[in-house]
Structure 1
């Protein structure tokens, strides 16, 4: 009989699984569905492992559940899984034994079985702590090596002369030997030395065995040499322990936290990340004082240490978040020296009782006083903000559509002013989206601080604003007066602002110039109503594209009256502090601090420039001479070079008469002298006339056709859209999507 080659052919492990998962995928971590199976046979499958791709952290953690002999068993690839440990980050699987036996028929030594692990990028590594390379035989030398046999290589030799030399439970080289393996092994191969064989003495030891297996599961028996018992258990399979980790190409926790924000696996708030001690990657553990599954949101729960009675005899254990505290019963104290509860002076009992009685009376008294004080403060705020005046007017004037909300109602409507409800912030306050009674969606503005004079006028102003009913002005629904700074409640406008349509996130819609012109015309109508028809007239004070909202039909709505004032009736009211937005401020107002209706006209002229040029009113970068849009425009008009400042999509798309008409109107609005500027009524009339120029002489579209073009078939009222020859796409609903969280009201 000629011996075979010394090197045994590479034996591939049936742990095909481990190694089918060559790399974890990089998708974002998703919480498994509650419908995912968490049991296969008598084995619990804990997340991040799961039965099915959608129930595990990644494909590398997938477990298959198969039925064999009428019993459900979990498998990692083709290898049977025995159990999973999250605490120790290990799995136990059944591993096949490699054999080297004398064949009596052929008179040769035959090799059989498989051993090894395949998968350089697997999440699994052989445990160097729990496993040992074990060789059994009367005359055997087996080798264990890495992939190429050029790196790690070790061997174990087992010899014995007679069965009487063997001892049960002893694996010290006589009939059985074991050796440790290094960390980081994800693959190995086994070979037997042909010079060591049992061909001549097979009468009591025909086979030799070699396998990497769990050390704690092995107990040597002498019968393994004179029978085939060692290879009969579990069909020639023995347990082996595999260390697992979240690898995914990640070498440490630091890298995972920095580069894997969407795939970081430690989801529980009370979890910590630890680097893997066996190969690259990381593991998740619950923080000290917590237990559970750190790979699930809220998976780590507080441990009740008091269940294990950690306190001394007679002590009382108090569980705390992440720990515990020990105390002694009344009349006793904890001795630091003996760590026991010892008797205390009786004075403590009396002091404790007296203190408790005092606290009860003090707390009750404070609560009563605080409640009375709070009610008194609310009544005072209500009076200061003109609440009594409001109620008198509401009683005397039937049909006054105005609601005075309580503070509690607005707290409930905004979920206690939750940050997720914020839809706008600005110099005049913060705006929250809320839902009040009758399931009505509103915008609730918590105003910034106001002075004493404004507090006195607040009630009167609210009465005036509440009576404004114009389709192009945001309607004031009500207010809350029982707080230090009053809160305003407006109708909710969903589709953003004109600023966003021209410059911001909706800029890509590329709506037609005629539609922008319509929106400007509607805004002018709203401002004209404030100036000409409100009694007394109202000056807005902060006219800008960010304060022109767009409703669900993309109709203009003038908003944010935080800087508005009533038309002053005396010199004291006429002078106010300078406020507004840079780039829109009237130069005459900056010099005199006198806010007039012509101040709104100047700001509206800047809006016309934004529509013509597509530029913001003020640029903080670039050459200093080109930072102010108004100055650049007026210079271009003076030099008869209007084409230099026009937006590219305007040039050649509209008639020169229309463009020049709008430019001339903007120039008049931007006149340095307020008296030379047109009124808002004149502006609205002129825009109405100019809008007709944007229509082909043979095309006339009614209101319904505009609404269908803009909103994809939904009819609207009170708005028009013109046919345009600009070449831009028609105003379909897809061009103007809804924006449920627009930043408005507060700028």
Structure 2
């Protein structure tokens, strides 16, 4: 899979290099920007009425305009522009909602919008004043380049004056006055004519023109008349010259508004926003005008300049000067003209570069694989040495061990077997490591022990377990299938024992599965046989050194399997003991070994005596529920016998199942195993023989006669016990 991905990446890089280095004209993009590209998203309405385009920052509908000043509503009449819904008859028309002004068209490049604006009129002989302040505090102003103020009477009215002022009337922006004569009638200022018309005059408005007041005055004279109306209005002057005829009351004419946005977008290579110095400040802040950079076309007001798209000059010969002899190559915002021979040369260069890069990538990938493989080999060698591989070889050689029947597993096999050591696969954890359940590729279920190696001492324990288990072949000892030393921590692979530990069954008995006396006696006999084998029949005597109920496993047929040889030691035939640092589990530890640091085969006998006491009583080796003096089961057991409370501590189930002679025989054996003096304890071989005799005949053999009478259990037999009385925990 990784190789396929690597190959795909190489091919993509080659393709990109070819496209970048080969100057061949491959197609053209449309120069015209699509109408839909002028809106902020596809859900916004792009036009209204007779194809009036509504580009962003203007917009129809929530989320389609930059702010409320630029909101446009599309309605069927101009009686109510506060609603965006269409109503009435006729085609819909767009209105700037804030001003209720009909929109005629919007120019992004000029930042202008043409609207229908009402005219100002006077039809009597009184002074008339009008205030126009709709655009105050908005980002819109009247364009001084496009608009002019027009004064026009409908009849020959003499001596009337039309003027425009600042909103407060303190500053005059200009005006027109009519003059009368008996011969020529109305004469307007000749310097302010309306092109070819003689019935009006014009006034140029100032820049940044956002509000104004209009005033029409007419004093009563012998020459004037009160008939007819006088008009003053702002208008798009070009439209006025070509389209305007006669004014009427309540009439609206086109007026051009300039605008700017309140916030400038971040600059890019395709678009830019600058302060619009032709517009006044908007609510204390400058307005901004945006435009596409040279070589780009579109809507620069869209966020991140998404509307400014590159113009493909090569698609239209009028946009480039390459002619017929040179090839045109479009670039971002511009184009290149390349001679034909340069094109061939560039193709050769491009192909050569691509092949060179391909060779480099393949060579780099191959080098990476080689280096990675060497690194993995070195790492495995490092782990093998660190995990005691050399020490293991030395131990096996010196002890004449044999790994012929064991397998060296790879780390990949064991990772796959345990689902990468998934926590759900954990069978148990201890001081020496974690045990996982796994399944090998052939379907074999195994237990994989992942050691916790931290220091050299623990490393020796691991190697010791491998060496010892490689020498052992006994049906009641867990079989070592192999190991793996090439990982960060060493791994041991054992046969899988299905039914857990003896301790689990003793502490959690239930009606579905309860350990009968027959099962308990068989387990005791099998463990004793395994220990007797280790002490007397193995190639070299082996002391287990950690006999306890949690190290006794039960297989599918509830046969005992002795496990965990991490602290075990082999001795020579002429040795009687080991002098070592005290190790073991409290409650099973031989008191004599604890005092002298000398471990003998009788130390294993003491630990087994505690396990035998657990089988007989169902009690734990150490219990916090007992008084401090008898927390230890060994002490509790001996004190109960000496205080003649033996039957009070025997498991109720055993009292119901077993003859008293058999229980007394086991009690005698436990007491002898728990003797504080090691020399007075029986050997494991003797213990195994005694248990076999009890299992066969239900009573102790003549072997016990070799012990002093003081070593026998002195138990008074009560008739009530034969009737099956309920036992209770006794105390001394």
User: The TM-score by the shorter chain falls in which range?
Assistant: 0.3 to 0.5
Q: Taking structure 1 as the reference length, what is the TM-score of the superposition?
A: 0.42
Q: Taking structure 2 as the reference length, what is the TM-score of the superposition?
A: 0.43
